[in-house]
C-alpha cells in the first residue's frame, strides 16, 4: 500500500485570513517502508512573512522572493500524491492550507477521506500524553538532534518514522504471529467441531468369561473372602 507522509510550513495559522503555504515536503512509503522518493518545494507566498512565523521555520521574504508560486507546481504535486492516502500531523491544518492553495488555482480540493491524522492516532494510543512531533520522537527514540527549526521535508521524514511506530512499528512481526496463532486456534476449533465420535464399546463379561472366572475361583485354596 502506497502512502504519502507530508508536512507544510506557512505564513500563519489561518488560510481564510490570507495566510499562505510557503513550503511542502512529501515522503513516499510503500507498505510502511520508505522508498526514497520525495517531493519538496518552497513557494513565494506573494505577501510578507510575519516575524513570528519566520522564527518558527526560518523562511524569510528574501529567501522566498525567487521561489515559484504554488500554482506553478500544483500539477506536479498532485501527480506525486496520486490517489494515495495522505498522512500528516494535525492533518486538518495541513489539509486546510493545501486545499486553500488548490482553490486559489481553480483546482478541486483533495478529499478529506484520504486524510490520516497522526495526532488522532497518537491520542488513541497514548491518551493523556503529549502529542507534539517532538514528544512522539522522544517517546519512540527517534533521533531529531538535527531539527533546529521546523522544515517540511525533515518533519515529514520524522513523521514517517513516528507513523510506523503508531501503526505497530517493531511489533508488526509479533502482531503477525499473533494473527497466525489466532487462525490456528480457529482452525483447531473448526476441526474439533467436525470430529465423529464412536459409540462406547460394551464392557459386560460374556458367558464364557464368567464361566472361566468361576473355575478360577474354585481352584483357589483357602481364599480370604471365604473366612
pLDDT tens, 76-129?
Answer: 999 999 999 999 999 999 999 999 999 999 999 999 999 999 999 999 999 999
72: domain CATH number?
Answer: 3.30.420.10
* Catalytic (active site) residue 150: yes
Report yes or no on 136 lying in a domain.
Answer: yes
Report yes or no on 189 lying in a domain.
Answer: no
Report yes or no on 161 lying in a domain.
Answer: yes
pLDDT higher than threshold 80 for residue 182: no
pLDDT higher than threshold 50 for residue 181: no
Residue 186 has a pLDDT of 44
Helix (H) or strand (E) holding 136: helix 133-139
Under a CB-based contact definition with an 8 Å cutoff, are residues 93 and 120 in contact? no
Report yes or no on 193 lying in a domain.
Answer: no
Domain that holds residue 126: 2-174
Cα 182-187-193 angle, rounded to 5 deg? 130
End-to-end CA distance of the chain: 88
How do 115-117 and 21-30 pair as beta strands? unpaired
Under a CB-based contact definition with an 8 Å cutoff, are residues 86 and 6 in contact? yes
For 16-65, how does the pLDDT look when each residue is reduced to its tens digit (9 = 90+)?
999 999 999 999 999 999 999 999 999 999 999 999 999 999 999 999 99
d(CA 116, CA 97): 16
Residue 199 has a pLDDT of 67
Question: Residue 28, SS3?
Answer: strand
Catalytic residue among 57, 89, 146, 150: 150
Report yes or no on 79 lying in a domain.
Answer: yes
Report yes or no on 209 lying in a domain.
Answer: no
Report yes or no on 182 lying in a domain.
Answer: no
| Number of structural domains in the chain | 1
Report yes or no on 210 lying in a domain.
Answer: no
Counts of helices then strands in the chain (DSSP H, E): 9, 5
Amino acid at each position: 500500500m502506497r502512502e504519502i507522509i507530508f508536512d507544510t510550513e506557512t505564513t500563519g495559522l489561518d488560510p481564510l485570513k490570507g495566510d499562505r503555504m510557503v513550503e511542502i515536503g512529501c515522503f513516499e512509503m510503500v507498505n510502511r517502508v520508505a522508498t526514497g522518493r520525495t517531493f519538496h518545494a518552497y513557494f513565494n507566498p506573494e505577501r510578507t512573512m510575519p516575524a513570528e512565523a519566520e522564527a518558527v521555520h526560518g523562511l524569510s521574504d528574501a529567501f522566498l522572493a525567487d521561489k515559484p508560486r504554488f500554482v506553478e507546481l500544483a500539477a506536479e504535486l498532485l501527480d506525486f500524491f496520486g490517489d494515495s492516502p495522505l498522512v500528516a500531523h494535525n492533518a486538518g491544518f495541513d489539509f486546510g492550507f493545501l486545499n486553500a492553495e488548490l482553490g486559489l488555482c481553480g483546482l478541486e480540493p483533495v478529499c478529506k477521506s484520504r486524510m490520516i491524522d497522526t495526532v488522532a492516532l497518537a491520542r488513541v494510543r497514548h491518551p493523556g500524553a503529549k502529542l507534539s512531533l517532538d514528544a512522539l520522537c522522544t517517546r519512540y527514540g527517534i533521533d531529531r538532534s538535527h531539527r533546529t527549526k521546523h522544515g517540511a521535508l525533515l518533519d515529514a521524514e520524522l513523521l514517517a518514522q513516528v507513523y510506523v511506530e503508531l501503526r505497530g512499528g517493531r511489533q508488526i512481526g509479533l502482531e503477525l504471529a499473533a494473527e497466525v496463532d489466532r487462525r490456528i486456534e480457529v482452525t483447531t476449533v473448526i476441526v474439533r467441531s467436525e470430529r465423529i465420535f464412536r459409540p462406547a464399546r460394551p464392557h459386560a463379561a460374556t458367558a464364557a468369561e464368567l464361566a472361566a472366572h468361576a473355575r478360577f475361583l474354585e481352584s483357589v485354596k483357602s481364599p480370604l473372602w471365604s473366612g
